[in-house]
């Protein structure tokens, strides 16, 4: 690919919506809302968003593996119908066939495209060479390390010489060092101008990875998945991680990612954004799935920092936590009013400081106070229990309410998280055997206060 016509639009996603049906005909679950996105030749685009923001779904729609519910995808000027032959995909899970050799795995896609045997062989050998697997042609996947298997994954995509290479979290199943090496090699290959595709779309939830590899980071929000905006990575390639500008971009994106409501103003906003409905029900707000212990643990770490403040990327590094594990904890802390996030820093609020430093009993009080104030699903559950004569309710009742807003499995997880928080705050008790929630006995009132459970 020596001559790249600059700025040629390769793929255009136009007003794409995607919903999946909810179980038992309970309507639709919106996963992508009004997506507008173009991929041009000569650029690396990162799709960055948290788990569940619809990144993989969007990639699958662009690859023609999944039809949009509304809107269309144009690939090189033609409306896409069925599989998109302009793209090849690298998967997180490598997706190799264990009974085929490296060579055979790499040739597979060519065979499907009707390429003759000898040409197949030649092209596969070249692709295998390009990913540094020269000499491993007849090895089987199980004889290779994870990093080598993903090299085969790359070779299999390269050999097709696609217009656009799609990668869905290609490095996240590898150990840190292997991932770092392979990521660097892919970047080198791109920068050398000898890359076997005209552009790259990479899906990731790793902020540093996005800033390192991409020219443009498109930030997706969740519930429903939508484009919040994009950040242009205005750095000379290869992107120098130690530069101030690199750090500033990473910090900026961390801030945006930890403030789901914040506007993404980073240079250019991608698409005309239609207002989407604000969900009113207290059962529509998604709780981050973290345990109370995780929240208090995090706050205790931050409270020890100067000014009760910490840089989020550094915090993630210190804790050896993936962003996807750290962000929900931060979310929960912000939601409960224990912390604030700005410019890549997390800072404890006064209440957060108290919560992190006080006794267990008092911290339960603080948690209860903040939960009732800031977490509508908990206050609504308590309200419902109070209205009942026997102050108790079947779990199903709440699950049904959650089912209206989430796919069933997620509704169950939401329920479990709400119960975990509610029990910690002593807002209610949950009898897992009976599958019932009930209000705790008021302490000191009545005969059996202090009874065991």
Ligand X SMILES: Nc1ncnc2c1ncn2[C@@H]1O[C@H](COP(=O)(O)OP(=O)(O)OP(=O)(O)O)[C@@H](O)[C@H]1O
The three-state secondary structure class of 404 is coil
Nearer to ligand X, 102 or 207 (CB): 207
Nearer to ligand X, 42 or 71 (CB): 71
Contacted entry of Mg ion, ligand X, none for residue 31, CB cut-off 5 to 8 Å set by kind: ligand X
Among 34, 53, 56, 363, binds Mg ion (CB under 5 A): 56
Residue 266 in contact with residue 231, Cβ under 8 Å? yes
In the bound complex, what is the minimum distance in angstroms from residue 28's beta carbon to ligand X? Answer: 10
Site string for Mg ion, 108-147 (x = CB under 5 A): ----------------------------------------
Contacted entry of ligand X, Mg ion, none for residue 258, CB cut-off 5 to 8 Å set by kind: none
Contacted entry of ligand X, Mg ion, none for residue 260, CB cut-off 5 to 8 Å set by kind: none
Contacted entry of ligand X, Mg ion, none for residue 393, CB cut-off 5 to 8 Å set by kind: none
Nearer to ligand X, 54 or 141 (CB): 54
Q: Report which DSSP code applies to 80.
A: -
In the bound complex, what is the minimum distance in angstroms from residue 59's beta carbon to ligand X? Answer: 8
Residues 239-275: b if buried by 16+ CB within 10 A, e if exposed: beeeeeebbebbbbbbbbbbbbeeebebeeebbeeee
Q: Interface residues with ligand X (CB under 6 A)? A: 20, 31, 49, 51-57, 205, 225, 407
Contacted entry of ligand X, Mg ion, none for residue 57, CB cut-off 5 to 8 Å set by kind: ligand X
Residues 129-142: b if buried by 16+ CB within 10 A, e if exposed: ebbbbeebbeebbe
Structure tokens at 410: 């997620």
In the bound complex, what is the minimum distance in angstroms from residue 22's beta carbon to ligand X? Answer: 9
Of 230, 249, 209, the C-alpha closest to 39 is 230
Contacted entry of ligand X, Mg ion, none for residue 368, CB cut-off 5 to 8 Å set by kind: none
In the bound complex, what is the minimum distance in angstroms from residue 204's beta carbon to Mg ion? Answer: 9
Please tell me the distance from the alpha carbon of residue 229 to that of residue 227, in angstroms, as a whole number: 6
Nearer to ligand X, 221 or 308 (CB): 221
Nearer to ligand X, 41 or 285 (CB): 285
Among the candidate windows 5-13, 55-63, 80-88, 390-398, which touches Mg ion by CB under 5 A? 55-63
In the bound complex, what is the minimum distance in angstroms from residue 201's beta carbon to Mg ion? Answer: 13
Would you tell me how many other CB atoms lie within 10 Å of the CB of residue 112? Answer: 10
Residue 316 in contact with residue 323, Cβ under 8 Å? yes
In the bound complex, what is the minimum distance in angstroms from residue 92's beta carbon to Mg ion? Answer: 8
Q: Is beta strand 164-168 parallel, antiparallel or unpaired with respect to 199-204?
A: parallel
Q: Which residues lie below 8 Å from residue 413, measured CB to CB, with a gap of 6+?
A: 289
In the bound complex, what is the minimum distance in angstroms from residue 215's beta carbon to Mg ion? Answer: 22
Nearer to ligand X, 60 or 364 (CB): 60
Structure tokens at 99: 């009974």
Contacted entry of Mg ion, ligand X, none for residue 54, CB cut-off 5 to 8 Å set by kind: ligand X
Nearer to ligand X, 26 or 314 (CB): 26
Complete DSSP assignment for 111-178: HHTT--HHHHHHHHHHHHHHTT-TT-TT--GGGS-HHHHHHHHHHHHHTT--SEEEEESTTTTS-HHH
Contacted entry of ligand X, Mg ion, none for residue 422, CB cut-off 5 to 8 Å set by kind: none
Q: With left for phi above 0 and alpha for psi between -120 and 50, is residue 59 left, alpha or beta?
A: alpha
Residue 163 in contact with residue 198, Cβ under 8 Å? yes
Q: Which residue has the tokens 């009974």?
A: 99
Nearer to ligand X, 52 or 260 (CB): 52
Q: Report which DSSP code applies to 220.
A: E
Nearer to ligand X, 34 or 57 (CB): 57
Contacted entry of ligand X, Mg ion, none for residue 51, CB cut-off 5 to 8 Å set by kind: ligand X
Contacted entry of ligand X, Mg ion, none for residue 221, CB cut-off 5 to 8 Å set by kind: none
In the bound complex, what is the minimum distance in angstroms from residue 55's beta carbon to ligand X? Answer: 4
In the bound complex, what is the minimum distance in angstroms from residue 225's beta carbon to ligand X? Answer: 6
Q: Which residues lie below 8 Å from residue 226, measured CB to CB, with a gap of 6+?
A: 32, 33, 34, 35, 220, 273, 276
Number of Cα atoms under 13 Å in the Cβ half of residue 372? 11
Nearer to Mg ion, 56 or 370 (CB): 56
In the bound complex, what is the minimum distance in angstroms from residue 296's beta carbon to Mg ion? Answer: 30
Residues that bind Mg ion (CB under 5 A): 56
């Amino acid at each position: 690919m020596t001559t790249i016509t600059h700025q040629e639009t390769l793929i255009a996603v136009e007003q794409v919506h995607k919903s999946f049906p909810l179980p038992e005909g309970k309507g639709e679950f919106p996963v992508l809302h009004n997506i507008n996105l173009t991929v041009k030749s000569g650029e690396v685009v990162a799709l960055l968003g948290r788990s569940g923001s619809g990144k993989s779904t969007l990639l699958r729609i662009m690859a023609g593996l999944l039809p949009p519910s509304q809107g269309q995808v144009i690939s090189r000027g033609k409306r896409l119908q069925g599989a998109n032959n302009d793209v090849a995909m690298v998967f997180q899970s490598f997706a190799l066939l264990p009974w085929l050799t490296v060579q055979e795995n790499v040739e597979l896609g060519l065979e499907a495209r009707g390429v003759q045997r000898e040409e197949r062989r030649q092209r596969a050998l070249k692709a295998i060479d390009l990913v540094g697997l020269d000499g491993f042609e007849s090895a089987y996947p199980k004889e290779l390390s994870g990093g080598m298997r993903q090299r085969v994954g790359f070779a299999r995509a390269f050999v097709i010489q696609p217009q656009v290479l799609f990668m869905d979290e290609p490095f996240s199943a590898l150990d840190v060092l292997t991932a770092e090496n392979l990521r660097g090699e892919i970047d080198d290959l791109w920068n050398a101008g000898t890359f076997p595709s005209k552009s790259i779309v990479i899906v990731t939830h790793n902020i540093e990875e996005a800033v390192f590899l991409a020219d443009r980071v498109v930030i997706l929000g969740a519930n429903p998945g939508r484009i919040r905006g994009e950040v242009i990575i205005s750095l000379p390639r290869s992107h120098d991680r130690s530069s101030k500008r690199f750090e500033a971009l990473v910090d900026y994106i961390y801030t945006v990612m930890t403030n789901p409501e914040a506007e993404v103003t980073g240079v250019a906003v991608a698409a005309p954004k239609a207002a989407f409905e604000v969900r009113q029900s207290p059962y529509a707000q998604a709780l981050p799935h973290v345990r109370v212990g995780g929240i208090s643990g995090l706050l205790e770490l931050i409270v020890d920092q100067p000014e009760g403040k910490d840089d989020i990327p550094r915090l993630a590094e210190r804790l050896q936590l993936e962003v996807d594990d750290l962000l929900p904890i931060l979310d929960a802390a912000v939601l409960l009013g224990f912390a604030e996030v700005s410019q890549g820093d997390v800072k404890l609020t006064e209440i957060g400081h108290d919560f992190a430093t006080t006794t267990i009993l008092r911290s339960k009080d603080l948690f209860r106070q903040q939960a009732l104030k800031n977490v509508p699903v908990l206050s609504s559950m308590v309200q419902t229990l109070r209205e009942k004569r026997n102050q108790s309710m079947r779990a199903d009742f709440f699950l049904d309410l959650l089912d209206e807003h989430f796919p069933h499995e997620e509704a169950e997880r939401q329920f479990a998280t709400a119960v975990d928080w509610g029990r910690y705050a002593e807002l209610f008790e949950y009898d897992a055997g009976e599958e019932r929630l009930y209000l705790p006995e008021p302490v000191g009132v009545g005969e059996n206060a202090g009874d065991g459970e």
